Structure 1
């Protein structure tokens, strides 16, 4: 039996339904009265729901006043399904979720996010904007877990299976040393990398898998998080998150959105907004071939 990254029967079923119900038209989609944008929070969903309003205003301004509706979803399969059904026009998708959406014929990538690199020694940001990042295995400072091999048999907080940093890359790292992430550890799912770290701090899990370095998401409330936790391993580089659009969107509108998001990332106000929403520092144009490495990792964690 092969373990598919998304593991989502819902997405596959939706693909069949949409194929059966499609009108057969080839006309490219262009938003006329409203642009609908959706993302899944990497931190507290209630906080991000409030932050979404400034992004709506800024994006609307960049797009000549068209109404923009930004919504928060609970998981990436829901965003993919919404793109496929046409109820959402733009989705913030991590690499693994984008690849699934592309395979289903639901999405096209237009942008990748930029983030500052992370200092391997202390987790502080560097001054270099990079196109990729790593996942990390985090334990409490007083834990007897020293290496990846020690993770076997422990309780590990993952994100959903569509999360590149929260599942796919760390799962591949464990498989590389002979540890099955489904049977050799007690895997629990958390919604939000901050929630995985909080579970580690309250000792309900032994290991938290997060993007590097997600401790910044809880540092305001737990300023000693750097002293009370430590990183035992990191993964190989992961391509940064995407901004993807529904597959039938016109090339003209894809280019408009590329320009709009890039401009937002270049302005001081805009950069703060996208950082608050998703820890993004800006955007660069992207293409599907940038995610071939993701497809390779999906194969690696299959069996």
Structure 2
């Protein structure tokens, strides 16, 4: 028995022999807050940069929602993903993925949500939205759903019964719907109005719309990894993301992708306050699948 154990230890110590083979490639997932075609070029450039730094090919995968990311991470089809803060909490609760970095905008590791209307609208505050039509993003959007709905309830307006809520496909779609008069107001991240596809179509969008409410600071959207990804690869990805955010050329890709200025180190503890907000708004939210 001792000989067998000694032989096992000898095998483990032999150079070039590894029981946990590193992956031959990595997959980076995105949940688009804009149309896929508008972010694909930047996503592919980011993947190429990370592949060069880590030394492993990286491919991009677009997933429609948090459940898709969670399942793909669980089956090891996605290793790294750019997600929203609420997406992260759901995925973390489902399968233990965790953040390694998060996005920085306007020198803040976090962002705010806006409620906008047209400049010629009579709507001046959240109270004026009673009986109106408002565009929201997916229910898992912090800036496009959770925070503005919570703010409406605080001023006594029930978004489920006292107004018509319309769920739209992206924050750019919400802003355009406000501009075109399809909805009276809309909830977006700050400042989705300056997304390239909006500015190219409506250069004076900031003059034609008005902000009537700004949310509290929301924890930054994180870059997360699956829980069982080897630690050496996790560390390499973290270092590569931080290095990339200091590269002037790569900064353009991040800006075009999600309006990101830079990337900083993050941890799960950064999202505890958001967990508290979610529990107050809907105690069973994270448990639902």
TM-score strictly above 0.5: yes
Given the alignment, which residue of 282, 287, 293 partners 2:273?
A: 293
CA contact (8 A) 2:112 2:216 kept: yes
Shift of 1:300: 2.2
Check 1:288–1:277 CA distance in 2 against 1; reply closer, same or farther (3 A cut): same
Cα distance in 2, alignment partners of residues 29 and 280 from structure 1: 35
Higher strand share: 1
CA contact (8 A) 2:119 2:209 kept: yes
State the TM-score, normalizing by the size of structure 2: 0.86
Shift of 1:58: 1.0
Equivalence for 2:246: 266
3-state SS of 1:130 partner:
coil
Deviation string, structure 1 residues 162-208 (Cα, Å, up to 9, x no partner): 11111111111112122222222211111221111111111111111
Q: CA RMSD in A?
A: 1.8
Instruction: Map 1:113-128 onto structure 2 (within 5 A).
Output: 113-116=103-106
Query: Structure 1 unaligned runs (5+)?
Result: 1-27, 117-128
Equivalence for 2:53: 62
Equivalence for 1:74: 64
Equivalence for 1:197: 175
Equivalence for 1:109: 99
3-state SS of 1:162 partner:
coil
* Number of equivalences: 264
Equivalence for 1:186: 164
CA contact (8 A) 1:30 1:253 kept: no
Greater Rg by CA: 2
Cα distance in 2, alignment partners of residues 29 and 274 from structure 1: 33
Check 1:214–1:51 CA distance in 2 against 1; reply closer, same or farther (3 A cut): same
Cα distance in 1, alignment partners of residues 68 and 120 from structure 2: 38
Tell me, yes or no, if structure 1 residue 133 matches structure 2 residue 111.
Answer: yes
CA contact (8 A) 2:99 2:224 kept: yes
3-state SS of 2:131 partner:
coil
Equivalence for 2:199: 219
Query: Structure 2 unaligned runs (5+)?
Result: 1-18, 284-289
CA contact (8 A) 2:69 2:91 kept: no
Equivalence for 2:14: none
Given the alignment, which residue of 167, 175, 196 partners 2:153?
A: 175
Check 1:177–1:30 CA distance in 2 against 1; reply closer, same or farther (3 A cut): farther
Tell me, yes or no, if structure 1 residue 89 matches structure 2 residue 83.
Answer: no
Bigger drift between 182-191 and 251-260 goes to 182-191
Cα distance in 1, alignment partners of residues 225 and 26 from structure 2: 11
